[in-house]
């Protein structure tokens, strides 16, 4: 057999080689860092690092595709692969550090780089890496990373870590969605930085937390959260991230966010499910627990069926309101200060999940495993507003008249004399008599803030979808002065109910969590402030107290500042 070998003239290869060399030379960087001491698992800190631009392109620090510094965490000896999304890393997408200015070729900049440790203790290789956002990682263009061996320790054994108390807060996050009105709105001391302060494992899935107010004496700031761990307990957590106690409630599971009364005691709804397949049914009991964990009173047991009880809402007279579903009706029950129940409202029909999980606290959670929406209480008129997936209704807390509207809605919130509610037609605003005032085609979870420059006007934040919309899942911000809508696209699925931080200068920041563990802060104009990976799934809406955001994840509570 005769083989023919074809030679390509060297002159024809040279232009191609020159092009490849030029493209590779566009990106270039060297990194100079100091020694990194032990980090605590999940700890966020800053590290001084000097980065030199050794390529031919200027590193522009603004626009749609800016240059930023980031990093990856690898197990020791692990090799980067070409397989997305993790490329062989334990954590691939690290926090970003913005450049203070455009960095020209052959110049350098020293940065206070944001660094978050992996969520688990162990030995790791930290790889610093520049990124041209939306275009390329430098390491994937042949530019060497700066590698450092780092030991990550459990937070309880970390040294040199200061976990300061949050600033004084006389309001707290007293119940589900923060206040009786259910707006998810709070006034913090400062803009959040997106740094993990502590992480406390609970051995089970937690409920959304509530947080007691602080006072000048330094007391308070305690976090209360239910779990489905083996003890089925109410867990009391100190502001420093340590467990003070775990209270077993006579075999009842704490399945909803607790609520804090004006005397500091905690209202907890416990459930016991009957064995068997859905529809789920069982019995409930309402407990009152002291701030140090002693049960002082409890209601009589009551039956429920088909779906879970709502979280409790407490009015200014310390009456507690809970929605209790059953086969033939949904009852609104009031439990007075002594936990004596009275039926004050409800719907008479077969309760149904109706609209499904679009209105669950997090998309994708099975409805039967998720508490129903709590009522909302208007502190001025004392009206209690409640809903399920068929009706919206109101009753007067002190007794008397009310109303009912056929509205396929979920999750009411009240602000400025208006009721905001998700419906199958979009989000609606209704007056306190139930009359429709305004509507948006957006459907999803809501929080209520205030319009920029005009605190008397409402600003509606929605996480969800516009039918046939432009963004898929997005955070939509609607200014009620002019119905102007600002959209901020959200990547991925399973975004939960937002919370609103009203800063001292009047600006607002929306914090929203994704089910897979991404926490994002977004400004009112739609720009992203920061993103933070928490390391495990988020299972409920965060609580906000002054300078802290408390996030319930699959098996822990994470405090973020």
Q: What is the pLDDT of residue 460?
A: 87
Confidence band for 527, pLDDT divided at 50, 70 and 90: confident
Report pLDDT digits (tens) over 264-280.
899 999 988 887 755 56
Q: What is the pLDDT of residue 258?
A: 95
Confidence band for 215, pLDDT divided at 50, 70 and 90: low
Percentage of residues of the chain with pLDDT beyond 70: 81
Mean pLDDT of 197-220: 81
Confidence band for 37, pLDDT divided at 50, 70 and 90: low
Report pLDDT digits (tens) over 360-382.
333 333 323 456 678 999 988 88
Q: Of 141-145, 285-289, 538-542, give the lowest mean pLDDT range.
A: 538-542
Give the Cα separation of 291 and 314 in Å (integer).
16
For residue 540, pLDDT over 50 is answered with yes
Percentage of residues of the chain with pLDDT beyond 90: 31
Confidence band for 466, pLDDT divided at 50, 70 and 90: low
Mean pLDDT of 122-131: 93
For residue 357, pLDDT over 50 is answered with no
User: Would you say 429 and 418 are in contact if contact means Cβ atoms under 8 Å apart?
Assistant: yes
Q: What is the pLDDT of residue 488?
A: 77
Q: What is the pLDDT of residue 493?
A: 66
For residue 176, pLDDT over 70 is answered with yes
Report pLDDT digits (tens) over 427-461.
889 999 999 988 877 778 889 988 776 777 788 88
pTM of the model: 0.72
Mean pLDDT of 278-291: 84
Mean pLDDT of 106-117: 88
What Cα–Cα distance (Å) separates residue 317 from each residue in 175, 320, 336, 374?
15, 9, 9, 18
Residue 40, burial from CB neighbour count under 10 angstroms (0-12, 13-18, 19+): buried
Q: What is the pLDDT of residue 328?
A: 66
For residue 109, pLDDT over 90 is answered with yes
Q: Of 183-187, 322-326, 341-345, give the lowest mean pLDDT range.
A: 322-326
Confidence band for 297, pLDDT divided at 50, 70 and 90: very high
For residue 25, pLDDT over 90 is answered with no
Q: What is the pLDDT of residue 359?
A: 32
**Between 59 and 273, the higher pLDDT residue:** 59
Cis omega before residue 279 (within 30°)?
yes
For residue 30, pLDDT over 90 is answered with yes
For the chain, list the domains and their CATH numbers: 25-157 (2.60.40.10), 185-560 (2.130.10.10)
Q: What is the DSSP string of 17-77?
A: HHHHHHHHHHS-EEEEE-----EETT-EEEEEEEEEE-SSS-B--SSSS-EEEEEEEE-TT
Average per-residue pLDDT for the chain: 80
**Between 130 and 84, the higher pLDDT residue:** 130
Q: What is the pLDDT of residue 348?
A: 64
For residue 255, pLDDT over 70 is answered with yes
Chain centroid offset of residue 203 CA: 20
Mean pLDDT of 25-46: 81
Which ranges of 461-550 would DSSP assign to H, the alpha helix? none
Characterize the bridge pairing of strands 253-254 and 295-298: unpaired
For residue 416, pLDDT over 50 is answered with yes
Report pLDDT digits (tens) over 496-521.
889 999 988 888 999 998 877 889 99
Question: Among 71, 78, 37, 76, which Cα is nearest to 51's?
Answer: 71
Q: What is the DSSP string of 378-390?
A: -TTT-EEEEE-SS
Characterize the bridge pairing of strands 185-186 and 499-502: parallel
């Amino acid at each position: 057999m005769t083989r023919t070998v074809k030679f390509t003239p060297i002159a024809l290869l040279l232009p191609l080689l020159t092009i490849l060399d030029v493209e590779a030379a566009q990106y270039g960087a060297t990194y100079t860092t100091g020694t990194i001491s032990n980090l605590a698992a999940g700890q966020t800190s800053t590290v001084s690092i000097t980065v030199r631009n050794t390529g031919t392109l200027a590193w522009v620090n603004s626009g749609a595709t800016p240059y930023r510094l980031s990093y990856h965490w690898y197990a020791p000896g692990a090799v980067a692969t070409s397989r997305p999304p993790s490329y062989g890393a334990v954590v691939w997408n690290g926090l970003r550090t913005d450049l203070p200015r455009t960095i020209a070729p052959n110049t350098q900049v020293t940065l206070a780089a944001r660094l978050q440790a992996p969520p688990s203790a162990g030995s790791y290789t930290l790889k610093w890496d520049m990124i041209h956002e939306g275009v390329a990682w430098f390491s994937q263009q042949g530019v060497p990373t700066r590698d450092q061996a780092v030991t990550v320790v459990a937070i309880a054994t970390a040294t040199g870590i200061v976990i300061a108390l949050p600033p004084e807060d006389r309001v707290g996050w007293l119940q589900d969605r923060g206040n009786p009105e259910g707006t998810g709105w709070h006034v913090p001391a400062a803009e959040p930085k997106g740094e993990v302060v502590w992480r406390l494992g609970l051995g089970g899935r937690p409920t959304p937390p509530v947080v007691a107010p602080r006072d000048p004496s330094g007391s308070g700031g305690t976090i209360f959260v239910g779990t489905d761990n083996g003890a089925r307990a109410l867990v009391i957590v100190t502001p420093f991230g340590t467990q003070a106690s775990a209270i077993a409630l006579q075999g009842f599971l704490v399945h909803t966010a607790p609520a804090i009364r004006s005397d500091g005691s905690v209202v907890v709804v416990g459930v016991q499910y009957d064995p068997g397949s859905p529809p789920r049914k069982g019995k409930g009991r309402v407990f009152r627990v002291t701030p140090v964990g002693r049960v002082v009173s409890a209601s009589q047991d009551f039956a429920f069926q088909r779906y879970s009880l709502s979280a409790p809402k407490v009015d200014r007279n310390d009456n507690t309101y809970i929605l209790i579903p059953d086969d033939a009706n949904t009852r609104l029950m009031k439990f007075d200060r002594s936990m004596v129940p009275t039926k004050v409202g409800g719907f008479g029909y077969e309760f149904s999940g109706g609209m499904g999980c679009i209105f669950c606290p997090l998309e994708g959670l099975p409805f039967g495993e998720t508490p129903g929406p709590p009522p909302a209480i208007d502190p001025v008129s004392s009206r209690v507003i409640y809903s399920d997936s068929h009706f919206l209704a109101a009753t007067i807390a002190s007794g008397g008249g009310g109303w009912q509207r056929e509205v396929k809605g979920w999750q009411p919130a009240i602000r400025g004399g208006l009721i905001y509610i998700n419906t199958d037609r979009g989000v609606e605003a209704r007056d306190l008599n139930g009359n429709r005032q305004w509507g948006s085609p957006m459907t999803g979870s809501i929080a209520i803030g205030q319009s920029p420059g005009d605190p008397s006007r409402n600003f509606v934040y929605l996480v969800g979808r516009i039918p046939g919309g432009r963004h898929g899942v997005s955070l939509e911000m609607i200014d009620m002065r002019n119905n102007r809508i600002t959209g901020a696209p959200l990547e991925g699925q399973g975004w939960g109910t937002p919370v609103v931080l009203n800063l001292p200068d009047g600006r607002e920041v929306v914090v929203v969590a994704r089910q897979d563990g991404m926490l994002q802060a977004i400004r009112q104009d739609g720009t992203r402030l920061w993103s933070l990976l928490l390391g495990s799934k988020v299972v409920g809406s965060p609580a906000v107290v002054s300078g802290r955001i408390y996030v319930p994840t699959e098996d822990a509570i994470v405090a973020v500042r």
